[in-house]
Chain A
Amino acid sequence: MTTQTAVATNKVTLTINGQAVTVEKGTLLIEAAKQAGVDVPHFCYHPKLKPDANCRMCLVEIEKAPKLQTSCNMPVAEGMVVHTDSPKVAEARAGVLEFILANHPLDCPICDKGGECHLQDEAHAYTPNYSRFQEPKRFFEKEYFGPLIDKEMTRCVQCLRCVRYCDEIVDSRALGSRDRGSLLQIGGLVNRELDCEFCGGCIQICPVGALTSRVAMYDYRPWQLKKIETICPHCADGCRLKVESRDNVALRITSDAGRGRNAGDLCAKGYFGFDVINRDDRLKKPLVRKARTLVETSWFEATALVAERFAAIKAQHGGGAIGGIISAHASNEDLYLFQKFMRLVMGSPHVDSTARYGHHNTIAALRDVVGHGRMTASYEDIDQAQAIVVIGADLTETNPIVGYRVKHAARNRGAALVTVGRYGANHGSFVSNLVNRATHALTTAPGQERAVVLGLIKAVVESGRVEPALAAASPAYVRRLSALAGRLAWADLEARAGLSRAAIEAAAAAYTGAERAVILFGRDVVRSSGAVDTIRLIADLAILAGKLTTPGCGVNPLCDEANEQGAVELGVAPEYLPGLIPVSDDAGRRRLAAAWKDEAPSGAGWTLMEMLDQARAGRLKALYLVGEDPLGDLPASAKVREALGNLELLVCQDAFRGPSAELAHVCLPAASFAEKEGSWTNHEGRVQKGKQALDAVGEAETDAAIFSEIARAMGYPLDYADPREILAEAVRVAPALATKGASVHPGTVDPATLAGYLSSGFERDVERRFALGPAAKASAEHPYRLTLIRSLFRSGALTGRSAALAKAPHQGTLLVHPDDAAALGVAGGATVRLRSAQGSAEVMVRISPKARPGQVLFPEHYAEAVRDLAPIDVDPATKVPIFREASVAIETVSQPMSRVREMS
């Protein structure tokens, strides 16, 4: 009964154009009309943004109201009687449109928005075919809005959607309106080069052609474009986007508002990074090495050669002399088929993916806690969280869409935001930074994220916030962990974390005090030493606080690459068969053998790093690289060149000729993500399907097709009619992968696994993970700690080739804290030499408090010499290579020109 009245009072009934409509209380009139099938014309309103009611296009008549009201910001009220098409409304609407059109240039024939322009549509529907405006039209000088955006202010309808998007969704606030009245225009507060996140959102949300992309300016008319939906390959956020092309050339990327896990938002890589597909230097034909140079050849010859060489090596040394590594950008279909190919056709257990660079640590830590390595809370849970703890992740740079959601929760829903990591606040930057929004910024030295997590656990235990039901159900677990936490001294934790006990306790209270609380952790945890222990501690924190399985709560691992999740779950790892079944699990092996009608080789295979070691040792004779380029990814200390140079056969299959290709015997041209149908599993665990948007360039083929081709040539056909058939088989052998529909979160915690963990599993390494370990000693010779961070504009070899992304400003610079810059006597723009035990590199300095004192930050994939500064260390258990930190000395090489002038 009570619920019924509650429901009844939450609904409002009103009349729109004579039709009764019942909607949720608080619904905006314009949305209520939409629900009633009535479209109210509008410009400034956008469901994503807070209403601003500036265009006045959506005026409607509400009976009893003294004047017309804007329906975009008017909440419905019981009994309201609304007319959206009365003569008064029609007159007002025509008046508004007349005003908008008065100064509009009507240069539709040369406007890139022509044909999909909101103003064209509304003008077509609501204005007479003549104009009464006979004054000189207002005119703005043409300006480019930075390197990637075209600004045509004569076309602007001043709806401020772009400004509001940039503020409310991206939290960049790079845009504003400048000047007044009819001279109002969009720009920065001061006229400066745009240096924002370049997400393209302002372009997409502009209802007219005032902001357009410079990447394909004047190259198309929208109606000429073929639009195909697929999944972005650049990170694990898993954005749905549309590749729009003409004559098989991708001309732009778009996304539909509200669609996909990204709800229609994108980041710079997704929006601007597509130009790589069209590059001239794509591999278009197979290459084979003849007389030391790679020469083009036919597929027939290349496949025959590859098959013959693999077969010969297999015959002479056994399948165990052959290894295969695939990129975790690949689709599920390509990944699945690759491990099947390696295991059955090559007869090799040595198959791995680039998920080895990080996600394996998460899997190793969480597989026996929650049953998998997926996010246990969905994106929607992040939206609704009252507290969010982000550990070791700079979401703006690594996972921008998850970042939008976290910022939204913190800014617009008032969620507490705890950041644990090595980054400082840099208010005033036009690239957002979670720390700037943190209610509790637990900023610590590199590698001390674990000390902070231990502090949080201790605070939860000591404040009596351990979930009471847990203490009753799993007393041994709670007792043991409480005792271990009790053993830690606050003084030690404070010293290690560089934070006060009070700050840690306050953050812990914010976390435990929230009913819906989500923890996210990212690469600074996952890709650093001791990751497994830290991740388990993060799980312990959530479990103790009762926030692992409670609805709306969870622990969310973040992945860098688009399909690390799929790569591991589909068995592209020497230790796992498809479905995360350990290779040592005999029952699992038998089930797989029944499905495959063949046996996968038994015994432990080699991981990525071990394959390189074995190649150097001469035991691995052949290596098949698919989309992965270890020479490009790993530092010199990994001795990749020596490893690859020692192989009898190196096959590189990729869309481009990367550094490793220089040592390859055969290069096979692979289709890009846009050129194939397939599915990708994002870090939530959602398997998302994409369609083929383009024909592959030249003679490039999809990875799966190439595997089938080689398999057939080797006399072991692996033939499938299409990618769907591959996925169907993958789901059959690993049922956990089946999608359960859009509404079911795929990452729920497996109760049996958790029960096992709480009864005894937790004991594994528990002493070690609760110990602080030896403190890092500062080196007098190399006093600064360098972290290789990830850049929003370049996350790997593929985005590194984007000419568009390269245009964003301030990239590839060393971030130095202002105090350090002062101590070193360097100005922004100066060139310095970094020196580590491994070598030295020259870089340009950018001063930013985002780098904390004593620490410097440099993005990966910008300078090999900087990458080579890092020593490499391999996690003994998970074999994940750790190479993103180094101790360095900094010496000034030269000051920027302006500074030189100042000093002389």
Chain B
Amino acid sequence: MPTYEKILLKNMDTPGYTGDLAAYERAGGYQAIRKVLKEHKPEQVIEIVKKSGLRGRGGAGFPTGTKWSFIPKDPSRPKYLCVNADESEPGTFKDRQLIDRDPHQMLEGALIAAYAIGAKVAYIYVRGEFALGAQILERAIAEARARGYIGKHVFGSGVDIDVWVHRGAGAYICGEETALLESIEGKRGLPRAKPPFPAINGLYQQPTVVNNVETLANLPHIIARGPEWYAAIGTLKSPGMRIFSVSGHVKRPGNYEVPLGIPLRELIDEHAGGVRDGHRIKAIIPGGASAAFFTPEHLDVKLDFESIAQAGSMLGSGGVTVMDETVCMVWAAYNLMGFFHHESCGKCTPCREGSSWLHHILHRIEHGEGRDEDLAQMERLCGNIAGKTVCAFGDAEVAPVLSTLKHFRHEYEAHIRERQCPMGEHVGATHASPLPG
């Protein structure tokens, strides 16, 4: 098995590492921010991050340095950093580990980002269910505050940076960056129509950067070891390490930190131990529930932003779900659609009505009440959702449907023909009961 030098998971994988401030500092923590404060102007930090090629780990893969450079320099407007720790994408559990096991790494990254964009306040928006994570963060912030690392004159510099934890209340959509902002403002978490973008009118209508936990966790290392070092890892356009959360029918589910660009097969077979014995892979979701399904034919696709997109899916949140032949693909799509129907915020028409409609059709097909025209109907409905919604949730919800229709159409046809699920009492099978809404 190829091994790689761990970067983000390194501390926590060191035996005895407790994740408290002393442990983090013993491991060399909080040196990067000191260096930044001493040696670099904010613009230089942005340049360094640009040069590193770091791209957002939250889903869209937007170049981080470029995102920061959109923040207006106007000193009269307060700026905000929001850390997206809402991690709710099914199959994704890397941010949770980064928070629980090494909170100071992410905090240091947040301080660097806040300094770079001129934010005096950073909010960490933590998924509501991460009660432990929120506690750990609160404790870490208190430790850092007590040492003068957070608050007024951080590290004795002239810079003030405060960090607050804001807990979500259980809605997936609050991970979408503008819904997240609304939620922090104390409003209902509904995505905002863009433009304006958060960089111009974000939190409280002020310039704001939203970054994912993993994105920020990279920053201390980029500063400490230089952008050139970082850019040399991974591929040219997708540099750096990436934590993949592998789940499903593999022998060793878990988080694996690997360079971007390794083949999917290597991740599943070598790192995650391969599919469980006596079974074979049937489908893979390579980037969280919002990503299109892959089939075994795609195992040689490289895990970087470009290659995956070219193969028709996306790197997304880095959640890789492996399904073997015991899984009914209609059921899988139905199950995911249930999630999307339940989590659609309801703000915009195509997603609100479309998720419900698709869920109803899939419910019928899975329970033996499919009609011949349903498949074309679903494709048509997906076309009326994708690209026409307020936020990217609309594109996400159609991905499982369209990709299973593309790769596993015969399973749908069998359901309709046989008026039942041909796989019988398969995993997760439910009985027909009316859907809400």
Say whether A and B bind each other: yes
Binding site for B on A (CB under 8 A): 51-57, 59, 67-68, 70, 73-75, 91-92, 95-96, 98-100, 102-103, 132-136, 138, 157-158, 160, 176-177, 179-184
Q: A54-B349, A134-B371, A182-B346 are in contact. List 5 more A-B contacts (CB 8 A).
A: A52-B193, A54-B390, A176-B188, A181-B343, A182-B341
Closest chain B CB from A400 CB (angstroms): 25
Q: Which of B294-302, B305-313, B356-364 is the contact stretch?
A: B356-364
* Contact between B349 and A99, CB atoms less than 8 A apart: yes
Q: List 19 A-B contacts (CB under 8 A).
A: A53-B390, A56-B350, A56-B389, A75-B195, A95-B383, A96-B384, A99-B354, A99-B384, A102-B357, A103-B353, A103-B356, A138-B356, A176-B188, A177-B346, A179-B346, A180-B345, A182-B353, A182-B356, A183-B346
Instruction: Tell me, yes or no, whether B88 is within 8 Å of chain A by CB.
Output: no
Instruction: Tell me, yes or no, whether B344 is within 8 Å of chain A by CB.
Output: yes
Closest chain B CB from A359 CB (angstroms): 41
A182 to B361, CA, bound (A): 15
A73-B193, A92-B388, A135-B361 given; A180·B434 CB < 8 A: no
A138-B437, A177-B346, A184-B346 given; A67·B387 CB < 8 A: yes
Contact among A54, A98, A181 with B356 in the assembled complex (CB-CB below 8 Å): A181
* Contact between A100 and B388, CB atoms less than 8 A apart: no
* Contact between B387 and A183, CB atoms less than 8 A apart: no
A157 to B347, CA, bound (A): 10
* Contact between B349 and A57, CB atoms less than 8 A apart: yes
Contacts of A176 in B (CB 8 A): 188
A73 to B377, CA, bound (A): 30
A325 to B372, CA, bound (A): 81
Contact among B195, B349, B355 with A55 in the assembled complex (CB-CB below 8 Å): B349
Instruction: Tell me, yes or no, whether B34 is within 8 Å of chain A by CB.
Output: no
Contacts of A181 in B (CB 8 A): 341-346, 352, 355-356, 437
Contacts of B352 in A (CB 8 A): 99, 158, 181-182, 184
A132 — nearest CB in chain B belongs to which residue? B377
A68 to B350, CA, bound (A): 13
Contacts of A180 in B (CB 8 A): 171, 173, 342-346
A158 to B347, CA, bound (A): 7
A182 to B350, CA, bound (A): 10
Closest chain A CB from B111 CB (angstroms): 32
A134 to B371, CA, bound (A): 11
* Contact between A99 and B193, CB atoms less than 8 A apart: no
* Contact between B348 and A183, CB atoms less than 8 A apart: no
Contacts of A55 in B (CB 8 A): 348-349
Contacts of A75 in B (CB 8 A): 195
Contacts of B342 in A (CB 8 A): 180-181
Instruction: Tell me, yes or no, whether B2 is within 8 Å of chain A by CB.
Output: no
* Contact between B193 and A92, CB atoms less than 8 A apart: no
* Contact between B388 and A68, CB atoms less than 8 A apart: yes
* Contact between A100 and B346, CB atoms less than 8 A apart: no
* Contact between A136 and B390, CB atoms less than 8 A apart: no
Contacts of A67 in B (CB 8 A): 387-388
A177-B188, A180-B344, A182-B355 given; A136·B349 CB < 8 A: no
A179 — nearest CB in chain B belongs to which residue? B346
Closest chain B CB from A77 CB (angstroms): 11
A126 to B390, CA, bound (A): 22
A55 to B346, CA, bound (A): 10
* Contact between A135 and B346, CB atoms less than 8 A apart: no
Contacts of B173 in A (CB 8 A): 180
Instruction: Tell me, yes or no, whether B436 is within 8 Å of chain A by CB.
Output: yes
* Contact between A92 and B384, CB atoms less than 8 A apart: yes
* Contact between A59 and B388, CB atoms less than 8 A apart: yes
Contacts of B383 in A (CB 8 A): 95
Contacts of B361 in A (CB 8 A): 135
Count chain B CB atoms within 10 A of each CB in A56, A75, A102 and give the residue with the most: A56
Contact among B190, B341, B384, B390 with A95 in the assembled complex (CB-CB below 8 Å): B384
* Contact between B346 and A99, CB atoms less than 8 A apart: no
Contacts of A54 in B (CB 8 A): 193, 347-349, 390
Contacts of B345 in A (CB 8 A): 180-181, 184
* Contact between A96 and B349, CB atoms less than 8 A apart: yes
A73 to B193, CA, bound (A): 8
A99 — nearest CB in chain B belongs to which residue? B353
A335 to B341, CA, bound (A): 64
A74 to B389, CA, bound (A): 14
A68 to B195, CA, bound (A): 14
A103 to B188, CA, bound (A): 24
Contact among A59, A70, A136 with B360 in the assembled complex (CB-CB below 8 Å): A136
B347 — nearest CB in chain A belongs to which residue? A54
A157 to B352, CA, bound (A): 10
Contacts of B364 in A (CB 8 A): 135
Closest chain A CB from B406 CB (angstroms): 21
A96 to B350, CA, bound (A): 6
Contact among B188, B195, B384, B437 with A98 in the assembled complex (CB-CB below 8 Å): B384
* Contact between A73 and B350, CB atoms less than 8 A apart: no
A74 — nearest CB in chain B belongs to which residue? B195
* Contact between B353 and A100, CB atoms less than 8 A apart: yes
Closest chain B CB from A624 CB (angstroms): 58
Closest chain B CB from A546 CB (angstroms): 27
Contacts of B195 in A (CB 8 A): 73-75
B342 — nearest CB in chain A belongs to which residue? A181
Contacts of A134 in B (CB 8 A): 371
Contacts of B344 in A (CB 8 A): 180-182
Count chain B CB atoms within 10 A of each CB in A132, A135, A177, A182 and give the residue with the most: A182
Contact among B354, B377, B384, B437 with A183 in the assembled complex (CB-CB below 8 Å): B437
A179 to B355, CA, bound (A): 15
A384 to B173, CA, bound (A): 37
B373 — nearest CB in chain A belongs to which residue? A132
Contacts of A98 in B (CB 8 A): 384
- Which 9 A-B residue pairs are closest in the complex by CB-CB distance? A95-B384, A184-B346, A53-B193, A99-B353, A182-B356, A181-B344, A135-B360, A182-B437, A183-B437
Closest chain A CB from B189 CB (angstroms): 10
A52 to B193, CA, bound (A): 6
Contacts of A99 in B (CB 8 A): 349-350, 352-354, 357, 384
Closest chain B CB from A755 CB (angstroms): 42
Closest chain B CB from A295 CB (angstroms): 62
A710 to B357, CA, bound (A): 72
Contacts of B390 in A (CB 8 A): 53-54, 56
A98 to B346, CA, bound (A): 16
* Contact between A68 and B387, CB atoms less than 8 A apart: yes
> B375-414 toward A: CB 8 Å interface, digit per residue (1/0)?
0010000011001111000000000000000000000000
A885 to B313, CA, bound (A): 73
B394 — nearest CB in chain A belongs to which residue? A56
A136 to B360, CA, bound (A): 8
Contacts of A57 in B (CB 8 A): 349
Closest chain A CB from B167 CB (angstroms): 18
A900 to B93, CA, bound (A): 53
Closest chain A CB from B152 CB (angstroms): 25
Closest chain B CB from A64 CB (angstroms): 15
Closest chain A CB from B23 CB (angstroms): 41
Contacts of B437 in A (CB 8 A): 138, 181-183
Contacts of B384 in A (CB 8 A): 91-92, 95-96, 98-99
A176 to B434, CA, bound (A): 28
Closest chain B CB from A208 CB (angstroms): 13
A57 to B348, CA, bound (A): 10
* Contact between A51 and B353, CB atoms less than 8 A apart: no
> Which chain B residues in 236-271 approach chain A with CB under 8 Å?
none
Closest chain B CB from A163 CB (angstroms): 10
* Contact between B357 and A135, CB atoms less than 8 A apart: yes
Count chain B CB atoms within 10 A of each CB in A95, A133, A181 and give the residue with the most: A181
Closest chain B CB from A100 CB (angstroms): 6
Closest chain B CB from A410 CB (angstroms): 15
Contacts of A51 in B (CB 8 A): 193
* Contact between A158 and B349, CB atoms less than 8 A apart: yes
Contacts of B346 in A (CB 8 A): 158, 177, 179-184
Closest chain A CB from B261 CB (angstroms): 26
* Contact between A95 and B188, CB atoms less than 8 A apart: no
